Structure 1
Amino acid sequence: MSVYAMVVMIVLIVTMGKVLGGRHRIHRGTGIDNADSMRLQGEVQQLRERIQVLERVITDSHSSVDLDREIERLRDR
């Protein structure tokens, strides 16, 4: 085996190791920053709450006073 073939084989082995290691980390879930994940989950929860309020406001037959209160409550958040 020539020196060049050995260098190419070493580069291939290292590259394959990095690719497989990256795939393994992604599947384990360590590829995502925990702080970002928690922040995004909080935002999703807030948006779900707001959507529930909006759905309730639209589907319920409240008087205009109740509707004004709901809108003001949403603005305060």
Structure 2
Amino acid sequence: MGELIPIIGISAPFLMVFGLVWIKSRTKLEEKRLEATASHSAEKAAQYASHTKELEQRVQVLERIVTDRGYDIATQIEALRDTQSVEQKDSGTPLNISKQERV
């Protein structure tokens, strides 16, 4: 037991220095990781802001189209529906074919 005291007394300063160096290096690594995460987050935020701005501009254009030509678009849609229903009635074979016509 008496032999351990000098060994502990000699090794304690070395262990303390090793611990301080290890803690300091871990702290530097953690700071670098936080900086990298912060810069990555800032880049993502800038990309989202840019994308949001583009979408807002597109919505403004669509709102202008709808409000400027709203009635005209509605009449054009109805006209297209009318022409499609007429084309469907005139084209193709009728579905009510009787058995006598098949023979």
TM-score, normalising length: structure 1: 0.43
Decide which structure has the larger Cα Rg and report it. 2
TM-score, normalising length: structure 2: 0.36
